[in-house]
Amino acid sequence: MNRRIYIYLVKRLISYIVVVFAAISIAFFLFRLVPGDPIKSYLYQMQTLQGFHLEEQTTQQIIQYYIEKFSLNRDPFTQYISFLRELILHHNLGPSFLAFPKPAQELIMEKLPWTIGLLSISTLMSWIIGNFLGALIGWKRDTKIDRTIFILALGFSQIPFYILGVVFILVFCLMLRIFPLGGAFSPNVSPEQIWNYIISIISHATLPSITLMFASFWGWVISMRSLTINVLGEDYLLFAEAKGLKKIRLFTRYVFRNALLPQVTGLGLSMGFIMSGSVIVETLFMYPGIGTLFSMALGRLDYNVLMGCIILMVFSVATSVLIIDLLLPFVDPRVRGD
């Protein structure tokens, strides 16, 4: 490994640590600037919405207990230092206010598989289908099918995914009743009923997955079409055509393969944004993942769960970018200085 690559990798690692640390620090103080008192809000809901009646003295004792338990009696900087110490040394986020006294990290780990399963599949499927279709219409550029799909892609790519989600819910859940309205599986199905349980999970995840796929699919089509058209003007492709190679071989071995390389980087970034893109979609479909948990925690000002979700989102994005940066010297000779 030459000196230039070594310096490059060290800079990327330092940038990664600084970005993660700065994002966590900013999020910690921003959440505490949000107006509202989570403890008093929780007690108010108990007394008004759920019909509990508490004496004034009991209420004050409960408030004091939670204040001490969540270290809210300290100044923000002391809370910040304590939070970092527990996070770094013990990997502990502290108790969750939503499900007290369960630790926040346990609550997050329970929701994480649902988000990964939902978003990773939809991201991969939209990437695969979008790139293939984009390469195909780029190969058939200036034809009727190219112009039609390209115009559709430009139009649909501008529609926010939460608008698509609302439309899909109205059409497929409320009007046609093809898919269930929300949740991850039917409440009358238990994991012991293995096949019914799997079918229920698939049926509940289908519409959220289609929403995410439909929203990101058209962006892949547009970018892949542009990359394919650029490849069509390369000298090596003209040389391959002059050799008399079949068109299917030209498309698969020369055009599609070379146009796909930049899209692999895009896939890495998209996989990193899986967590951050789940909030609105999961909330719309009442899907029990990280996005729904984050929305609930924000409504209750559950600081520890909020920080856990933010750390997970920042870590996934920053790590995906870091992996791409670390692999870049082995792919691009300009980074190596060759």
- The 10s digit of each residue's pLDDT in 210-232 is 888 887 888 889 888 888 888 88
* Residues 38, 125 share a domain: no
d(CA 176, CA 179): 8
Check whether 28 has a pLDDT greater than 80: yes
Q: How many CB atoms lie within 10 A of CB 271?
A: 19
Residue 124: inside a domain: yes
Residue 137: inside a domain: yes
Domain count, the chain: 2
Of the candidates 86, 258, 338, 140, the residue with the CA atom closest to the CA atom of residue 94: 86
- The 10s digit of each residue's pLDDT in 324-333 is 777 766 655 5
Residue 99: inside a domain: no
Residue 31: inside a domain: yes
Residue 98: inside a domain: no
- The 10s digit of each residue's pLDDT in 235-245 is 777 777 777 77
* Residues 152, 75 share a domain: no
Check whether 104 has a pLDDT greater than 80: yes
- The 10s digit of each residue's pLDDT in 36-47 is 666 766 666 666
- The 10s digit of each residue's pLDDT in 252-264 is 777 777 788 778 7
Residue 96: inside a domain: no
* Residues 252, 148 share a domain: yes
Residue 95: inside a domain: no
* Residues 64, 181 share a domain: no
Domain end among 64, 90, 116:
90
* Residues 80, 161 share a domain: no
* Residues 117, 208 share a domain: yes
* Residues 152, 72 share a domain: no
Query: What is the mean predicted confidence (pLDDT) over 127-138?
Result: 88
Residue 49: inside a domain: yes
Check whether 290 has a pLDDT greater than 80: yes
* Residues 116, 59 share a domain: no
Burial class (CB in 10 A: 0-12, 13-18, 19+), 68: exposed
Collect all residues with Cβ–Cβ distance below 8 Å to 312 and sequence separation of at least 6.
Answer: 108, 112, 275, 290
- In three-state form (DSSP H/G/I as H, E/B as E, the rest C), the secondary structure along 239-269 is HHHHCCCCHHHHHHHHHHHHHHHHHHHHHHH
Collect all residues with Cβ–Cβ distance below 8 Å to 261 and sequence separation of at least 6.
Answer: 331
Check whether 185 has a pLDDT greater than 70: yes
* Residues 324, 245 share a domain: yes
Question: In terms of pLDDT, which residue wins out, 39 or 291?
Answer: 291
* Residues 55, 24 share a domain: yes
The pLDDT value recorded for residue 199 is: 86
Question: Do residues 302 and 36 touch, judged by C-beta distance below 8 A?
Answer: no
The pLDDT value recorded for residue 273 is: 63
* Residues 132, 74 share a domain: no
The CATH number of the domain where 234 resides is what? 1.10.3720.10
Burial class (CB in 10 A: 0-12, 13-18, 19+), 12: middle
* Residues 59, 17 share a domain: yes
Q: How many CB atoms lie within 10 A of CB 109?
A: 12
Q: Could you list the residue range(s) of the whole structural domain that residue 36 is in?
A: 3-90
